Structure 1
Amino acid sequence: MGGGGGGGGGDDEEWLPRCPCPADVTIVLVGKVGSGKSATANSILGSKVFASKHSYSSVTKMCQMSRTTRSDGCAEPRTINVIDTPGLFDMSTTTEDTRKEIAKCMEMSKNGIHAMLLVFSADSRFTREDADTIECIKIFFGDSIVNHMILVFTRGDQIGEVNWKDMLADKDASYLQDVAKQCSDRIILFDNKTIDAQHQEEQLNKLLDAVDSVISNNNGIPFSNKMFTQIKEEHDRQNEIGVQGSAEQTSMPRHDIYDGYLMLITKMVEEKLNSTIEKLQKQLMEEQKARQKIESEVAEAKMRSEEEIRKLREELEKAKQDSDKARQFYEKFKWMECAIM
């Protein structure tokens, strides 16, 4: 597994790109409130674009996108689009505002997601709930999204590389180890507090190496699915309507056209979320039934076991009584034999 910004199951060379770098790269940061998403996004961008502070409530209130241009080993400078999200996909996703923000996130990344950074705080225990969040993302997007996932753990300044490696190897870190395995051990410790320019550049290069590895492993093709395709088609259609409307001097304001477009995407997201929730409820019911069946079988086995033990005890008692009776007869007849003689 990766260490302080290092690679996954092996050396950093495994993360070197093996195909041409795309001119545009889209990175989406996802994670719980307070995990350090915005700070990590700012580190990638090289400036404080997104509001970031340590807080128990979400500092990022809506999906935001910014971009930067980097020349980092590619033949030509490339644009890196960074999308910061307000604590999405942790399955508190039932409010209207959250649905709208998921819709915005998908609209911003309509051309596909090259890498999804799942951001966690390294100074907090990785729990079953964290692992379940990733399962929810897989259910929402589809299993193939894991091929584009990178685990990023912030607070590297507090943990340190040695402690981090010990934490990853800990036998009690099974949830984290299972998730890391799903992501092919693409896991990075990141320090957003460092003021060391060399360290900043080194860890950013390692993070972008991991992104390039994901891009390469997917043959340069970003993650997309049916919903992304529908959003892109609707976007192109709205653009066409806008162009025609301009030519015909339509009375409908541009922002009304965009709002209608966003409402359509929100409806798509809502339908997908509802189907995801239904799927989770069905899965939960099946798991509960399976658990109840096992509990019933265990109880029956216990009853059978207790009944079998009772029968064995009765048989043992009977055998003991028979043995005592036989011994008594033996002693009686032995005494009679001695008396006769």
Structure 2
Amino acid sequence: MGASSIDVERELTPFSGVVRTVVLVGRKGNGKSATGNSILGAKAFKSRQSLDGVTGTCELERTVTSNGQIINVIDTPGLLDSSVESDFIGKEIARCIDLAKDGIHAVLVVLSVRTRFTKEEEAAILSLQTLFGSKIIDYMIVVFTGGDELEENEETLEGYLGGDNCPEPLKNILNLCRNRRVVFNNKTNDKNKKAVQVRELLSLVNMVIAQNGGQPYTDEQFTELKRQRLSHQKEVESLEGKSNMEIPELKENMERSYDDKLKRITEMVELKLTQTTTRLQQQLAEEQAARLKVEKNLEIAKIKTEELDKKKADKSRTCAIL
């Protein structure tokens, strides 16, 4: 799509040339692409769904803010959807890492105020630690979409999250994120509202960077892929001076070698994901079994109480007759 701009002005400020890379994750229907477009200030991302309901592939778009800050936005397909196969997720994680190149400055977990947050969704978000590494939690920011609905109901995000409206699993996620959250109205045409919510988000992104010592998130997968990319670039540069007959074959061999390395990283992610999925499924099954046991015990206690009450009532009637 090329670069877009939140503001045409390109003033030289301390942020001029600073790059921030954010990754959007969330379940289908929560508004990832719309949120990405709000950040970019342009309709760069489109929801292109395949026959099996999975949105295309990871995409990167870029914008430059009025103070010269460069924002890379990576939209990801259904990484938190339980229906998506692990091999697809593995490939997309590898692609996401490849697009991020020098690391991720923030992971934007997109949730919707229109849907209730569940224990299963909490487990899916926690699986990000497997997909990207354990420290990724330190880079997470929760973005709530559906700000238009809150406005229509004259409600604030604080009010929405307050009291009994905020389920325990969501409280757990917000606590992990140190309560870093922002609400987005992706439907508004008010330019001022658009600018305010983007500024608030970028302020949180810069806070995340500061809290992590000024460094973006990387792990062994990033390091390995970056090393392989640099090696690949050097190999491409070494083609200079080779004969025209040698170049096609050498290029083909280099591409195959690079693809093999990407495949190994993909397989590593897949293995981690499979192990975590199995563990989470077992955990959820145990929790469900525990809930059913509690419910059964309550039902038994209720029946016993009703039987006892009936006996007392029968005894009272008998005494009254006598």
Instruction: Bin the TM-score by the shorter chain.
Output: 0.7 to 0.9
> Structure 1: which amino acid aligns with 2:21?
T
TM-score, normalising length: structure 2: 0.75
Which structure is larger by alpha-carbon Rg, 1 or 2? 1
State the partner residue of 1:28.
Answer: 23
Give the secondary structure class of the aligned counterpart of 1:189: strand
* 1:253-305 CA-partner distances (Å, limit 9, x unpaired): 75774465244223212223213422453566588789999x99xxxxxxxxx
State the partner residue of 2:37.
Answer: 42
1:184-203 to 2 correspondences below 5 Å: 184-203=178-197
1:1-341 to 2 correspondences below 5 Å: 23-52=18-47, 60-72=55-67, 77-160=68-151, 162=155, 164-171=157-164, 173-249=167-243, 250-252=247-249, 257-258=254-255, 260-282=257-279
What is the alpha-carbon distance in structure 1 between the residues aligned to residue 220 and residue 19 of structure 2?
A: 21
What is the alpha-carbon distance in structure 2 between the residues aligned to residue 195 and residue 289 of structure 1?
A: 47
> Structure 1: which amino acid aligns with 2:239?
G
Does structure 2 conserve the Cα–Cα contact (< 8 Å) formed by 1:51 and 1:59? no
State the partner residue of 1:302.
Answer: none
* 1:177-213 CA-partner distances (Å, limit 9, x unpaired): 1110100000111001000011111111111111111
Q: Identity over aligned residues, as a percent?
A: 33
What is the alpha-carbon distance in structure 2 between the residues aligned to residue 126 and residue 104 of structure 1?
A: 28
Q: 1:286 to 1:237 in 2, by over 3 A?
A: same
Segments of 4+ moved more than 6 angstroms: 19-22, 53-57, 286-293
Q: 1:118 to 1:81 in 2, by over 3 A?
A: same
Does structure 2 conserve the Cα–Cα contact (< 8 Å) formed by 1:152 and 1:187? yes
Higher RCO, 1 vs 2 (CA within 8 Å, ≥6 residues apart): 1
What is the alpha-carbon distance in structure 2 between the residues aligned to residue 237 and residue 176 of structure 1?
A: 43
- Deviation, 1:132, is 0.7
Q: 1:151 to 1:255 in 2, by over 3 A?
A: farther
Note the aligned Cα RMSD (angstroms).
3.3
Runs of at least 5 residues in structure 1 that lack an aligned partner in the other structure:
1-18, 297-341
Give the secondary structure class of the aligned counterpart of 1:179: helix
* 1:214-233 CA-partner distances (Å, limit 9, x unpaired): 11111210001011100000
What is the alpha-carbon distance in structure 2 between the residues aligned to residue 271 and residue 55 of structure 1?
A: 26
> Structure 2: which amino acid aligns with 1:177?
K
- Deviation, 1:142, is 2.5
Give the secondary structure class of the aligned counterpart of 1:47: coil
> Structure 1: which amino acid aligns with 2:224?
Q
- Deviation, 1:60, is 3.6
